[in-house]
Chains A and B, each alone.
Chain A
Amino acid sequence: MAGLLKQRNIIAVLIVFAIVFPFITNNNYFIHIMTLAFIWIIGVYGLNLLAGYTGYLSLAHAGFFAIGAYSLALLTTKAQMNYWLAFVLALIITSVLGMIIGLISLRTKEHFFAIYTLCVGYIIYLVIDKWDSLTGGVRGLIGIPAPGNIGPIEFNTPISNYYLVLFFLLITVLVVYRIVHSLTGRTYIAIRNSEDLAQTIGINTMKNKLMVFVISTFFAGLAGALYASFIRFIGPDIGYITITFDLLTYLIVGGIGTLSGPVIGTILIVWVSQQLQFLQDYRMMIFGPILTLLVIFYPRGISGGFIDWRAKRKEKKQNQLNLENQQMLSAQETSAASNKNG
Chain B
Amino acid sequence: MDVLIQQLFNGLTLGSVYSLVALGLTLVYGILHIPNFAHGALYMVGGYITLTMMTQAGLNYWIAIVVSCLVVGGLAVLMERLVFHPLRHAPAIHDKIAAIGIMLFLEALVQFIWGAEYQTMVSPYGQVVNVAGVTLTMQRLLIIVATVVVMIILYIFLKKTFTGATIIAMSQNRDGANLVGINTNRVAMLTFLVSGALAAIAVSLSAPINLVFPGMGHLVLTKAFVIIILGGMGSIPGAIVGGYILGFTEALGATYISNDYKDVIAFVILVLILTIKPNGLFAAKGGH
Which residues of chain A from 250 to 296 have a CB within 8 Å of any chain B CB? 252, 281-285, 287-293, 295-296
Interface stretch of the complex, out of B92-100, B133-141, B186-194? B92-100
Interface: A226 (CB within 8 A): no
Of the candidates A115, A282, A293, the one having the most CB atoms from chain B within 10 angstroms of its own CB is A115
Q: Which residue in chain B gives the minimum CB-CB distance to A289?
A: B105
User: Across the interface, which residues of A come within 8 angstroms of B86, CB to CB?
Assistant: 296
Which residues of chain A from 123 to 139 have a CB within 8 Å of any chain B CB? 123, 126-127, 130
A118 touches B222 (CB 8 A): yes
Q: Which of B90, B96, B109, B233 contacts A114 (CB 8 A)?
A: B96
* 0 or 1 for each of A93-107: is its CB under 8 Å from B? (1 = yes): 000000000001101
Interface size on A, residues (CB 8 A): 42
A55 touches B270 (CB 8 A): no
Of the candidates B34, B111, B270, the one having the most CB atoms from chain A within 10 angstroms of its own CB is B270
User: Across the interface, which residues of B come within 8 angstroms of A105, CB to CB?
Assistant: 274
Which residues of chain B from 50 to 108 have a CB within 8 Å of any chain A CB? 83, 86-87, 90-98, 100-108
For the complex, give the distance between the alpha carbons of A271 and B111 in Å.
23
For the complex, give the distance between the alpha carbons of A340 and B116 in Å.
88
Given known A119-B226, A119-B267, contact A108–B97 (CB-CB < 8 A): no
User: Across the interface, which residues of B come within 8 angstroms of A120, CB to CB?
Assistant: 267, 271
Interface: B174 (CB within 8 A): no
Interface: A248 (CB within 8 A): yes
Dominant SS at the A interface? helix
Q: Which residue in chain B gives the minimum CB-CB distance to A107?
A: B278
User: Across the interface, which residues of A come within 8 angstroms of B90, CB to CB?
Assistant: 295-296, 299
Interface: B229 (CB within 8 A): yes
Q: Which residue in chain A gives the minimum CB-CB distance to B100?
A: A245
Given known A112-B279, A282-B111, A295-B94, contact A123–B105 (CB-CB < 8 A): no
Q: Which residue in chain A gives the minimum CB-CB distance to B112?
A: A282
Interface: A122 (CB within 8 A): yes
Interface: B263 (CB within 8 A): yes
Given known A55-B91, A284-B104, A285-B108, contact A111–B226 (CB-CB < 8 A): no
A115 touches B112 (CB 8 A): no
Interface: A41 (CB within 8 A): no
Interface: A109 (CB within 8 A): yes
